[in-house]
Amino acid sequence: MKKLFAALLSAAMLLSLVSCGGDTATSPAPSAPAAESESVSSTFKAAMVTDVGGINDQSYNSMSWAGMQKAHDELGIDVKYYESKTDADYEANMITAIDEGYNLIICVGYLMVDALSEIAPQYPDTKFAIIDAYVDEPNVTGINFASEQCSYLVGVLAAQMSQTGNIGLVMGGTGDAMNLFAFGYYAGALDTNPDIAIQAYNANNYADVAGGKSAALHMYANDADVVYQVAGSTGLGVIEAAKEKGLYAIGVEVDQSYLAPEAVITSALRLIDNAVLQVCQAAMEDTLEGGISMYDLSNNCVGYAETDLLSAEALSAVQDAQAKIISGEIKVPRTNDDFVAKYGAGLYTLDEALNG
Amino acid sequence: MSSKKSSAPSTLGRSFWQRVLFHNMSDTLLAIVLGFLMGALALVIAGYSPLTAYGKLFSVIFGSPRNMSYSFIEFASPYILTGLSVAFSFKTGIFNIGAEGQYVVGSVAALLVGYFIHAPAFIHIPLCIFAAILAGVLWGALVGILKLRFGTNEILCMIMFNWIAYYLSNYIVNLRPVLSAPGKTWSHTIQDTAKITISGWSSLLSNKVHAGIFLALAAALAVYYILYKTTLGFRLKAVGHNINGAKFAGIPTEKATMITLMISGGLASLAGGLQVLGVTYKISQFAGQEGYGFQGITVALIASSHPLGVILAGLFYGAMKFGGTRFDAPSEIVDIIMGCIVFFIAISGLIRANIQRLAERRDKHAANDP
């Protein structure tokens, strides 16, 4: 009997907890609409759909959500995210967001291209934005980053910081989007030091840490002392190699110096959060246009990370380059033709050199 | 259900409520209620109102015909099949933790046949489905051979086979003829003749309602029939109950193990195949295991491994998966709920034994006090 009482009591406690919780948790709810009614637009709602990386991926999805939260704080719009666990979720998530009345739906990542090209024409009144991709519909905005600009800046830094005049590049794959990184890096390095030697390697894999490491070790053995990685997890191996050899590596996407503060001299940043915030604002003000929107240095959506390892000389050179890119004095090549026209053929050729 | 009944033989002559308590279905329902209570606790701790959140969950799942078709058709059908795969193996004394890998090889087989072969739909679709099933049957048989020939532990083997399937799929997707374009991370899409999507029937339904649900239901009925109405099923269950007893009775236990691995492999790979033919049409490079097979274990446990129960459990799981990422709380809450449900089902035997002891003691008291 005692046990039964205990069980009943604990059940009662559990229930009371639940009901208390209900009260405390609902109490902020009424205040939320009040706060909204004060702000300019209470009706605008923006949602984002994550790719299979999930909301806590510390990368695209996390940064996009950070941008959405900024948009909530600064613009007072309603924001929400829908998490995708598998490919099958993309479409379902978009549809749910549409059903719930969201005006703008941001799709994080090119994996959603197929799903979006199916959904967008069905819902012409909803605005869509997709990161790093593009779908040819009037209500879709492609959020594209000037990856060549931030790569140019880290190329300048690599050439400045290299003692040997020999630097490296490890790529996770090729393709138009990936090549932007390579063009920018080459251009930045060559503009700084026309005689610089650049070793490039295409791992053709974004998840091969060991492969990235051995490629970087190979480059360091061949006199390179700075290696730039654009290779996802494969790039983590590059940073590991730099740490081991006491040489330098350059990170990508986010400031990766936390991985190895003594080895990562800078990182090519793509500030997805800023871009997402700008997209939300444009959509709210109804100025968001379909087509590809470029997010670059001029609107603070790409950049480089500063660390203590960078010399004063290198810093002033990179600030100079940044100002020149923004003013249009330096045009960083975006296509192979532009690159070859300015720097000559044979330096960076898509198929041969990268597979070295 | 029958196995649990036989494990509590003294239920006759007890009160109505005790009989209800001893019944399996009520165990499960109780576990579900408790699971939701634990979920509510987690919601409170995370600072959400459980009532609002559950209300939202409910309204998302049942909110519209479209949402219901997402919940109970599009999302549920793979779970019914992987659940069935695991349940079948449980019934026959094997723990098919390899459903994940079997699911993957099934989807790869369906993709390859769906993309490379050109044929009219009435040939193409059965061919894809056959390829998907065959892939899983062979994948299961491989484990069977390793177990029977070399005495390898089938659980370890299947866990490793999951990873082999995972990387095999990534490798195949990355091959030049399969990859949609250089630099992309997903395969070509299957030919239109291989697609089994039937959403065109009604604009009220979700975009990817597919005929796979019928196959899933048919598979559940077939497994029920095999397990409970055929000699094969009797033999398999006998091996599951007591392998030595079965051996003594002259049942070829090695053959039974092999058949179990092959059938449950085929069921899980059918799930993968149908998902490609009906929903995704292509395979992306995995960023992590998708978990359809592992979640089949949960489904089988909720269903107490009964093939017809798997249908209900699969529908429930599919709905929770659909609702779980769309209600106004972290999607992990649904995983907490599901985990707790499985936990409570697992300890239901303990609870039942305690209640039984309590009741016996009370009976003794009643007998002592005239």
Looking at CA atoms only, how far is residue B49 from chain A in angstroms?
Answer: 5
Q: Does A86 touch chain B (CB under 8 A)?
A: yes
> Which pLDDT score, from 0 to 100, does residue A40 have?
45
**Are the Cβ atoms of B40 and A21 closer than 8 angstroms?**
yes
Cβ-defined contact of B207 to A91 (cutoff 8 Å): yes
Q: Does B7 touch chain A (CB under 8 A)?
A: no
Chain B from 129 to 148: CB within 8 A of any A CB: none
Is B316 part of a structural domain of the chain? no
Residue whose C-alpha is closest to residue A161's, from A297, A330, A306? A306
Q: CA-CA distance, B305 to B317, in Å (whole number)?
A: 15
Burial class (CB in 10 A: 0-12, 13-18, 19+), B45: exposed
**Which part of chain A is CATH 3.40.50.2300?**
41-145, 147-270+300-355
Note whether B41 contacts A87, CB cutoff 8 Å.
no
Cα Rg, chain B, nearest whole Å = 22
Note whether A175 contacts B: Cβ–Cβ < 8 A: yes
Considering only A37-51, A86-100, B45-59, B179-193, which range has the smallest mean pLDDT?
A37-51
Domain containing B183 equals 65-304
DSSP string, A8-56: HHHHHHHHHHHHHHHHHHHTHHHHHHHHHHHSS-SS-EEEEE--TT-TT
Largest CA distance in chain B: 87
pLDDT at B369: 63
Q: Which of A1-15, A65-79, A267-281, B307-321 has the lowest mean pLDDT?
A: A1-15
If one counts the domains in chain B, the total is 1
Q: Write the pLDDT tens digit of every residue in A181-232.
A: 999 999 999 999 999 999 999 888 787 889 999 999 999 999 999 999 998 8
Q: Do A14 and B184 touch (CB under 8 A)?
A: no
In a domain, B356, yes or no: no
Largest CA distance in chain A: 90
Q: How far is CA B301 from CA B39, B152, B296, B344, B348, in A?
A: 18, 25, 9, 11, 12
Query: What would the mean pLDDT of B111-124 be, rounded to a whole number?
Result: 95
Q: How confident is the model at residue A352 (pLDDT cuts 50, 70, 90)?
A: very low
- The proportion of chain B whose per-residue pLDDT surpasses 90, expressed as a percent, equals 61
Which chain B positions have a beta carbon within 8 Å of A89's beta carbon?
325
B37 within some domain: no
Burial (CB count within 10 angstroms: exposed 0-12, middle 13-18, buried 19+), residue A165: middle
How sure is the predictor about A178, in pLDDT bands with cuts at 50, 70 and 90? Answer: confident
Smallest Cβ distance to A21: which of B44, B208, B358? B44
Residue B36 lies in a domain: no
CA distances from B216 to B169, B276, B290 (A): 23, 14, 19
Spatial distance between the Cα atoms of A261 and A255, rounded to a whole number of angstroms: 10
Q: Is the pLDDT of residue A152 over 50?
A: yes
Q: Which of A87, A118, A176 sits opposite B280 (nearest CB)?
A: A87
Chain B nearest C-alpha distance from A61 (Å): 14
Calculate the average pLDDT of chain B.
88
Q: Tell me how close the Cα of B227 comes to any Cα of chain A, in angstroms.
A: 32
CB nearest to A96's CB, from B47, B208, B326: B326
The phi and psi torsions of A133 (rounded to 5 degrees) equal -160, -175
By Cβ distance, the residue of A25, A52, A93 closest to B49 is A25
> Which residues from chain A sit within 8 angstroms of residue B275, using beta carbons?
88
| Cα–Cα dist A273/A62, whole Å | 9
The domain made up of A147-270+300-355 has a fold known as: Rossmann fold (3.40.50)
Euclidean distance between CA atoms A293 and A280, whole angstroms: 13
Residues 323-352 of B with CB under 8 A from A: 325-326, 328, 331
How distant is the Cα of B263 from the closest Cα of chain A, in angstroms? 26
Domain A41-145 listed as CATH 3.40.50.300: no
> Is B312 within the bounds of a domain?
no
The answer to whether the CB of B303 falls within 8 A of the CB of B123 is no
DSSP letter at A228?
E
Tens of pLDDT, residues B201-213: 667 777 788 889 9
Q: What are phi and psi of B321, to 5 degrees?
A: -65, -40
Pairing state between β A166-171 and A197-202: parallel
User: Per the CB < 8 Å rule, is B49 touching A173?
Assistant: no
- A-facing residues of B in 51-80 (CB < 8 A) are 51-52, 60, 63-64, 66-67, 70, 74-75
Strand ranges, E, within chain A = 45-49, 78-82, 104-107, 127-131, 140-145, 166-171, 197-202, 226-230, 248-253, 264-270, 291-295, 302-304
The pLDDT of A334-354, averaged and rounded, is 74
In the chain, the amino acid numbered A120 is A
Confidence of residue B236 (pLDDT cuts 50, 70, 90): very high
Taking CB atoms and an 8 Å limit, are B189 and A114 in contact across chains?
yes
**B51, A22: Cβ pair inside 8 Å?**
yes
Does residue A6 surpass a pLDDT of 80?
Answer: no
Contact residues on chain B for A22, CB-CB shorter than 8 A: 44, 49-52
In-domain check, residue B51: no
